[in-house]
Structure 1
Amino acid sequence: MTDPTGYRRPDPATQPPYDVPAYGSTHHRHPKQALVRVPHTLTEVSGPRFSPAWYAPHADLSTLNGKAALGERIIVAGRVLDEDGRPVRGAMVEVWQANAAGRYHHPGDQHDAPLDPNFLGRGRVFTDEEGSYRFTTIRPGAYPWRNHPNAWRPVHIHFSLFGAGFAQRLITQMYFPGDPLLAYDPIFNGIADAAARERLIARFDLDITEPEWALGYRFDIVLRGREATPFENDGAH
């Protein structure tokens, strides 16, 4: 059957299912009935639109009001690409994360790890003409999450990508190489395909690293096709 959108569909094993038995809360949150496709109207396809002029091309989360956050400073950079490796220009990339102690700057996080007054853990940039984005931040800490006995989330950063408007949004998570907690994490391992899981792990990049200042990590995001980055929206939680 020909795909009317012209896009190559990903292998279902490369995207997380709605219900992951080992990830307890998905059982309570996933749809119990078959999904109903609702055609987009002019409202969804025409706006509201985001402007790259709203934000600088590089966000620095590692300082607040001129004061440095606690923890290991890092740089995360990459490109947003389509299924043919072409750059996706003007996409809004949002990130949010825990601080170096593993706590989010959010009232819902009551973990007893300390808050950092100089770290909010959120930022927003737009991709440039080459589809590139870049931000400076603090390497987040692992934290307990009570999904199962002695459960700890691996170190990760949340990503949200917007296209032309609110109806075009994808969400995923970026992990770090060599994290021993990845083997025990039901969210990460909810993706059946091992190669797809690897696409969620950033690569250390010496070219992004800045001498005597910050280690660099590359995290490229592919929106569609067989090499697509796994997204929570495409059948996740």
Structure 2
Amino acid sequence: APLGEKMVLVGRVLDEGGRPVRRSLVEVWQANASGKYPHPVDDHEAPLDPNFLGKGQVLTDDEGRYRIVTVKPGAYPWQNHAFGWRPAHIHFSLFGNAYAQRLITQMFFPGDPLLAIDPIFQSVPEAGRRFLIADLDLEHGVEGIALGYRFDMVLRGPRATPIGV
């Protein structure tokens, strides 16, 4: 099993009218619990976890729901700014009913103090930042084993999940 804090991530993919996007391909990639990506250009000195792939994909169901079991990613150093560290985050790429409907974004965790100094998170207008932070969702966790988080994504409209982050 992968090392780190286990988590169950649930959510829905919705269109601009709040309707579920059925059979949407949800792709995720993330660092492991030590903040290391299993990618050759990641030169962070944290250890790789041989039991962690760092990526996955799932299709939403008829209600637009998805469920992913993973570990909470670790923060990692980033030389983009002085004393730069990226907060824990998960990358998402998802497709709507047509490939013209694609959203690429990042999901962050509530209460992370690194959000205040992360240039990527801070580049999103303040009103949209809340749409990038998952909610703690104990109902979907597994008592004593995994915390639950909820992250709903809206493809377009006034409640759209910010893209390009």
Q: TM over 0.5: same fold?
A: yes
* Local SS of the residue matching 2:138: coil
Work out which of the two has the higher radius of gyration on C-alpha atoms and give 1 or 2: 1
- Letter of the structure 2 residue corresponding to residue 82 of structure 1: D
Q: Any runs of at least 4 consecutive aligned residues in structure 1 with deviations exceeding 2 A, and if so which?
A: 163-169
Report what 2:11 is aligned to: 78
Task: Using structure 2 for the length normalisation, give the TM-score.
Answer: 0.96
Matched, 1:128 2:61: yes
Q: Tell me by how many angstroms 1:162 deviates.
A: 1.6
Q: What is the one-letter code of the residue matched to 1:119?
A: F
Match of 1:158 in 2: 91
Length, aligned pairs only = 165
Gaps of 5+ in 2: none
Bigger strand share: 2
Within 5 Å, give how 1:169-180 maps onto structure 2: 169-180=102-113
Task: Please give the alpha-carbon distance, in whole angstroms, between the structure 1 residues aligned to 2:55 and 2:134.
Answer: 18
Distance 2:72 2:107 in 1: 12
Q: Residues of 2 paired with 1:228 and 1:203: CA distance?
A: 16
Letter in 2 for 1:169: R
Amino acid in structure 2 at the alignment position of 1:207: E
Query: After the TM superposition, which residues 2-17 of structure 1 pair with which residues of structure 2 at under 5 Å, given as runs?
Result: none
| Aligned counterpart, 2:31 | 98
Residue 218 of structure 1 aligns with which residue?
150
What is the TM-score normalised by the length of structure 1? Answer: 0.68
Partner residue in 2 for 1:209? 141
AA aligned to 1:81 is L
RMSD: 1.1
Percent sequence identity is 65
Could you tell me which amino acid in structure 2 is paired with residue 174 of structure 1?
M
Q: Write out per-residue CA displacement over residues 143-165 of structure 1, whole angstroms, 9 at most, x where no aligned residue.
A: 01100111000100000002345
